[in-house]
Amino acid sequence: IKHCEEVASKCEFDTDWGMGNHFIDRSGVADVIECGKEHRQLAEWLRKYQKIEQILDDYDLEAWEILEKIKEVTE
């Protein structure tokens, strides 16, 4: 998660700083912006996964037990 956030921040910084100093051409800006967005999204997904893992640990349940409970409720 930390790595994803660092890459996303670096992409934002590089885009702002690089464009101002003409190090990044306009076509490269879109790639850098997209890379930053993808890393932010991955960090968000990883945080959600961490929360799910914590819940499983807190309740001492296996993932399959959770899925069975969800099936019971939705049937």
Please report, in tens digits, the pLDDT of each residue of the chain (75 residues total). Answer: 999 999 888 887 766 554 544 455 666 777 788 888 999 999 999 998 888 788 777 777 777 777 787 777 776
Q: Identify whether the C-beta of residue 30 lies closer than 8 Å to the C-beta of residue 40.
A: no
In this structure, what token pair is assigned to residue 4? Answer: 């994803």
Kindly report the pTM of this predicted structure: 0.63
Domain ranges within the chain, ordered by starting residue? 2-74
Question: CA of 68: how far to CAs of 7, 18, 19, 48, 53, in Å?
Answer: 38, 51, 52, 20, 17
